[in-house]
Amino acid sequence: MGEGSERITTVEIYGQSYYVRGMSSPEYIAQLAAFVDERMREVSELTPTVDTLKVAILAALNIADKYLTARKKLQAVEQLVADRTEKMRASLDSVLHTDST
């Protein structure tokens, strides 16, 4: 998501401001911040706590779960692409072979 040089973007998450240094666009950083903020608000509704650190950690665990699940699916789909391409190629080959005999 990088585009150009490093810059600092200010975001608000769970009522507090943070400076985020990075190569990404302010729009993308804002999208990430909104995503984390939403997860924290979900967690705080389910977990009765006033400990913001705990809320942030549980939100991080929740997002890590989403990431590992997406990564696993991605690997499975990439394997599917490879398998299917090979199968289709074999089918085409077999048709072309039938043709030439």
Instruction: Tell me: does residue 13 bind a copy of itself (CB under 8 A).
Output: yes
The beta strand positions in 1-101, using DSSP E, are 7-13, 16-22
Cα(101)–Cα(64) distance, integer angstroms = 56
Q: Which of residues 18-47 bind a copy of itself (CB under 8 A)?
A: 18, 20, 24, 29, 31-33, 35-36, 39-40
Instruction: Tell me: does residue 65 bind a copy of itself (CB under 8 A).
Output: yes
* CB within 8 Å of 19: residues ≥ 6 apart: 8, 9, 10
DSSP single-letter state for residue 52: H
Sites of contact with a copy of itself (CB under 8 A): 1, 13-14, 16, 18, 20, 24, 29, 31-33, 35-36, 39-40, 52-54, 56-61, 63-71, 73-74, 77-78, 80-81, 84-85, 88, 91-92, 95-96, 99
